[in-house]
Amino acid sequence: MPPPITRTWAPQAELVALAWALAVAAGVWAALSTDPPGRVLLAAVALFLVAAGLYGTLVRPRLAADQHGLTVRGVGGTRAWPWAEVNVRLVRTRRLGRETTAIEIDADNAEVPDLVVLGWLDLGADPRDVVDSLLELRT
């Protein structure tokens, strides 16, 4: 029996590194600023970027799949489902004149039902390509 093929998707490492670099830059700029309102604003931006960098670092890989099922990692922990418990759909949404695509992982058949929506930032790849890979692994 061949070993299982595992595919993983995660936020792009370059974007996570950029969030950390910008957080450091905003923190230094806030520390050196002499304008009190500007210092508060820069500190808030630095905290937001630290949160974004920390999220991108902790949730790697965000989605993993093999022939047996898929696993989604989040800040609150990791959830895994066999293929029989999940439905995977590509969802297209039009907002503000722009169409976005996302993946809906609907674990409605699971013991604890759940719905996970993953977009390009979560996956580091086009959701259309990820859905194709997931459907290929599922068969």
pLDDT, tens digit, for every residue of 97-108?
Answer: 999 999 999 988
pTM: 0.83
pLDDT of amino acid 4: 67
Beta-carbon-side half-sphere exposure of residue 102 (alpha carbons within 13 Å): 15
At 57 the pLDDT is: 93
pLDDT of residue 51: 96
Q: What's the pLDDT score for residue 109?
A: 76
Sheet of 115-118: strand order equals 87-95, 98-106, 115-118
- Strand boundaries in 1-139, DSSP class E: 7-9, 63-65, 69-74, 77-82, 87-95, 98-106, 115-118
Checking if the pLDDT of 78 tops 60, the result is yes
Confidence of residue 113 (pLDDT cuts 50, 70, 90): confident
